[in-house]
């Protein structure tokens, strides 16, 4: 499948993507994960991106398009992909349309996962992430704690609160989403690709996507 997952930070895009990739071998491409990997590895990209990320601001479109142009041409995308956290602005969406045309790729659907702001706020404040950038497993201290407190079930590394998941940064990220990313729903609606799915459980969202795609 070739999907874009839209939705505010904390809407469950990553969780939904992980389940869907296991169905048909498509890959999850999360620009947030790629950027956090670059920050931790101390690459030039990471150095450029870190300040924006810590403040909860978007990284400049040009940096993101550079990442995506090469990522979408890697071999593992041949079975399909789920774009998680990209595109985030109208210019990124326009650049992506040109890129997909150039690569002769057609999207199946753009899923807009709609979750109330108070649910998202609570989820993000209690979310914890494995600090190992090769893992980046997600936990929630209320609803999905790790088996051993503070330790990742999968790789044993420490689980931490991301710098951009303090209350202040979360509020700012949600405002940025409303201002810059929410307009993408209209952009893809006009292209006849958008499907809005309202749901606070990732199982329900996955089931609705499968029903839409007939898989
Ligand atoms: P995420 O894990 O998707 O919430 O992304 C974490 C942070 O990475 C965001 O708050 C942005 O600073 C940056 N980021 C991720 N994806 C993008 C994107 N497509 N455009 C701009 N910035 C991004």
Whether 40 is covered by a domain: the verdict is no
Q: How many domains does the structure of the chain reveal?
A: 1
Cβ contacts of 25 within 8 Å, gap of 6 or more: 79, 80
Catalytic sites, residue numbers:
13, 88, 127, 162, 173
Top mutation candidate among 62, 82, 85 for ligand 1, by most atoms within 8 Å of CB: 85
How does residue 167 score in pLDDT terms, banded at 50, 70 and 90? Answer: confident
CATH of residue 207: 3.40.50.300
Residue 149's CB: how many other CB atoms inside 10 A? 8
Whether 157 is covered by a domain: the verdict is no
pLDDT tens, residue by residue, 182-195: 999 999 999 999 99
Whether 188 is covered by a domain: the verdict is yes
Model-level pTM greater than 0.75? yes
pLDDT of residue 98: 97
Task: Pick the atom of ligand 1 nearest to 164's CA.
Answer: 10
Cβ contacts of 39 within 8 Å, gap of 6 or more: 46, 47, 49, 50, 53
Task: Pick the atom of ligand 1 nearest to 85's CA.
Answer: 3
Whether 208 is covered by a domain: the verdict is yes
Cβ contacts of 152 within 8 Å, gap of 6 or more: 130, 132, 135, 137, 139, 146, 158, 159
Whether 201 is covered by a domain: the verdict is yes
- Can you give the residue range of the structural domain that contains 187? 2-26+79-115+170-213
Whether 47 is covered by a domain: the verdict is no
- Distance, CA of 55 to CA of 16 (rounded, Å): 26
The pocket around ligand 1, CB under 6 angstroms, is made up of 9, 31-32, 35, 52-53, 56-59, 64, 85-88, 92, 164, 173
41 preceded by cis ω (within 30°)? Answer: no
Residue 86: closest CA among 68, 102, 105:
68
Whether 141 is covered by a domain: the verdict is no
Whether 181 is covered by a domain: the verdict is yes
The DSSP element (H or E) to which 70 belongs, if any, is helix 61-71
pLDDT tens, residue by residue, 68-125: 999 999 999 999 999 999 999 999 999 999 999 999 999 999 999 999 988 998 889 9
pLDDT tens, residue by residue, 21-60: 999 999 999 999 999 999 999 999 999 999 999 888 999 9
pLDDT of residue 187: 98
- Tokens 């593992």 correspond to what residue? 76
Phi-psi region of 137 (alpha: psi -120 to 50; beta: other; left: phi over 0): beta
Between β-strands 109-114 and 194-198, what pairing exists: parallel, antiparallel or unpaired?
parallel
């Amino acid at each position: 499948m070739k999907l874009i997952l839209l939705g505010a930070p904390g809407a469950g895009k990553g969780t939904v993507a992980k389940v869907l990739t296991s169905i048909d071998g498509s890959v999850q491409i999360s620009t947030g994960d790629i950027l956090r990997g670059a920050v931790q590895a101390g690459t030039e990209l990471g150095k450029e991106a870190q300040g924006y990320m810590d403040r909860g601001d978007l990284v400049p479109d040009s940096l993101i398009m550079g990442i995506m142009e090469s990522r979408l041409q890697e071999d593992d995308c041949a079975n399909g992909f789920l774009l998680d956290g990209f595109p985030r602005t109208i210019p990124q969406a326009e650049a992506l349309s040109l890129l997909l045309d150039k690569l002769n790729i057609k999207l199946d659907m753009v899923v807009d996962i709609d979750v109330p702001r108070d649910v998202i706020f609570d989820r993000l404040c209690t979310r914890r992430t494995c600090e190992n950038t090769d893992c980046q497993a997600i936990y929630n201290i209320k609803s999905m704690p790790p088996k051993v407190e503070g330790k990742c079930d999968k790789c044993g590394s420490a689980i931490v609160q991301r710098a951009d998941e303090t209350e202040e940064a979360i509020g700012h990220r949600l405002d940025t989403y409303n201002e810059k990313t929410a307009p993408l729903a209209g952009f893809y609606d006009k292209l006849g690709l958008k499907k809005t799915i309202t749901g606070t459980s990732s199982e329900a969202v996955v089931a609705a996507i499968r029903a839409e795609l007939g898989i």
